[in-house]
Amino acid sequence: MILKNKKKIRIIIGSLNVGGTEKQLLKIINYLAKKNWEIELITLKEKGILAKYLNKKIKVNNLNIKVSFKFVRLFKIIFKLLKIFKKNPYTLTHFFLPQAYILGMASSIIANTKCKLIMSRRSLNFYQNKIFFYRTIEKFLHQKINKILVNSEAIKKQLINQEGVSKNKIKIIYNGVEAKNNKKFKKNNNFNIVIIANLIPYKNHHILFNSLNLIKEKLPKNWKIYCIGRDDGIKKNLIKLSKKKGIFNKIIWIETLKLENILSNCNLGILCSKEEGFPNAILEYFAFKLPVITTDVGGCKEIVKNKKNGLLVSKNDSLELSKAILYLYKNKNKAKKFANEGFRTVKNKFLAIRRRIAFIRFFFCIGWYY
């Protein structure tokens, strides 16, 4: 469907640095731009490295406020957003991630804007819920927002049960991924493991390292693990742990967007997070026909059905994870079955193009005008 008239949308996010939410947003707005939508992307911090992949039609407004005092910076952001809302009070506005939501909503309320307001919650809100200040502000803002988009049933349940949001305000649109038919299950003598996860404490890399330490002598001599993700401050500690566990020389640290060559040469995809909203990593593993092991948390359970298209393990359990890794290494036919079922799952439920069309339909339903 090609839109004859331009439709407008304003997107507000912290930055377009590498992350699951940012990558999904990039694909969505590039698709909207191709479909003749007029898009204004506002970044509160820096533009981020993903900005270079934006469609040239997309207007980027980088606030980029740099001051030493945090509260001064927050007030300057609100002031700049306030001017934007007053200049264009009718443009449909979509907030991504907590900071953009709180500051953007505060600005829109002060400006008494007339536009429809949408917030995207892309992860379980386990950290803000521990802080009374965040919890109180967000509950107030939830009453003012028109719609909340989520990418998993787990997040929807949290919003309803813990944050008092009406189910009628919430819409689920799952993440999507590209899937090509020319990918084949890799049944070779190598054993390459991959974990796609930014180096953040809740991603639990240390649990994976502990697990590999338990079984390293039972794996082939040339086994490797690719750790793909941005360092958010814990890489030094993980390097120390890997040396202590005797697996340092087996780890390849990578921060890249180009995953095809790496995933094409891997035999197993792992995610061992404490919490997840709806992880892109699992979809990317499935798209490259990798068998998957993931923790039994959040949206992971909505993608992986235990012993059908992958294995679910308990969080924080190194022993259980090590047994699952060894099982799929030794049982290649079972691994192949999981890989093929995972690929079928993506094709049937999580193709990117279907998710993008779902976003357009949603924007039509809510209205891009007041």
Give per-residue pLDDT as tens, 12-42: 999 998 888 898 999 999 999 999 999 999 9
Task: Give the span between the Cα atoms of 25 and 308, in whole angstroms.
Answer: 30
139: confidence class by pLDDT, cuts 50, 70, 90:
confident
189: three-class secondary structure by DSSP? coil
d(CA 370, CA 362): 15
- Tokens 């407008």 locate to 8
pLDDT digits (tens, 9 = 90+) for 49-60: 899 999 999 999
Q: What pLDDT shows up at residue 6?
A: 63
Q: Which ranges in the chain are annotated with CATH 3.40.50.2000?
A: 7-176+351-366, 192-349
More confident residue, 116 or 124: 116
**Could you tell me if 274 and 204 are in contact, meaning their C-beta atoms sit under 8 angstroms apart?**
yes
pLDDT at 183: 58
Supply the CATH classification number for the domain 7-176+351-366: 3.40.50.2000
Amino acid code (one letter) for 294: T
pLDDT of amino acid 327: 97
What's the start-to-end Cα distance of the chain, in Å? Answer: 23
Q: What is the pLDDT of residues 200-225, one digit of tens each?
A: 999 999 999 999 999 999 999 999 99
Spatial neighbors of 245 by CB under 8 A, at least 6 apart, are: 209, 210, 212, 213
| Topology (CATH) of 192-349 | Rossmann fold (3.40.50)
Name the pLDDT band for 369 (thresholds 50, 70, 90). Answer: very low
**Residue recorded with tokens 């401050």:** 233
For the sheet with 7-13, list strands across it.
Answer: 59-62, 37-43, 7-13, 93-96, 117-121, 147-150, 170-172
Q: What is the pLDDT of residue 66?
A: 73
CA distances from residue 81 to 72, 77, 133, 258, 369 in whole angstroms, order as listed: 14, 6, 22, 34, 19
Q: Of 333, 327, 273, 338, nearest to 304 (Cα)? A: 338
Residue range 91-114, pLDDT digits in tens: 999 999 888 999 999 999 999 988
Given this model, what pLDDT does residue 73 score? 85
pTM of the model: 0.87
